[in-house]
Amino acid sequence: MSFRRISVNEAQEMINDDGSRIQIVDIRDDESYEAGHIEGAVHLHNSNLHDFLQSADPEIPVLVCCYHGHMSQGAAAFFIEQGFEQALSLDGGYEAWSEVESSD
């Protein structure tokens, strides 16, 4: 099993679908996260990774967001290795997300 890359539009559909549940993690630095992030995203870093892995539900998809969609691929692969059934990497990262959100 491997992670899957998804577009901002696919991510928005999953998040907005009342029937679906999704865990969103943001792996950017503190300043970037504070400046803006996807609503409901957990700011994930080395100091809280263990706690997240202990409390997260591996049966619920996890969506990983980074700056431009590159680092999130490695993080999504890591979540698959940790036993998550579905890990998703946001193509274009938060930069693409914020561009789409600001045009809506």
The DSSP output letter for 4 is E
Sign of CA dihedral 11, 28, 72, 26: negative
Report domain extents, the chain. 4-103
pLDDT digits (tens, 9 = 90+) for 65-90: 999 999 999 999 999 999 999 999 99
Active site residue 65: no
Q: Please pick, among 11, 66, 90, 96, the residue that the annotation labels catalytic.
A: 66
For the cut 70, the answer to whether the pLDDT of residue 19 exceeds it is: no
DSSP element (H, E) containing 23: strand 23-26
- Interior/surface letters 29-67, b for 16+ CB within 10 angstroms, e for the rest: eeebbeeebbeebbbbeeeeeeebeeebebeebbbbbbb
For the cut 70, the answer to whether the pLDDT of residue 104 exceeds it is: no
Domain 4-103, what fold? Oxidized Rhodanese; domain 1 (3.40.250)
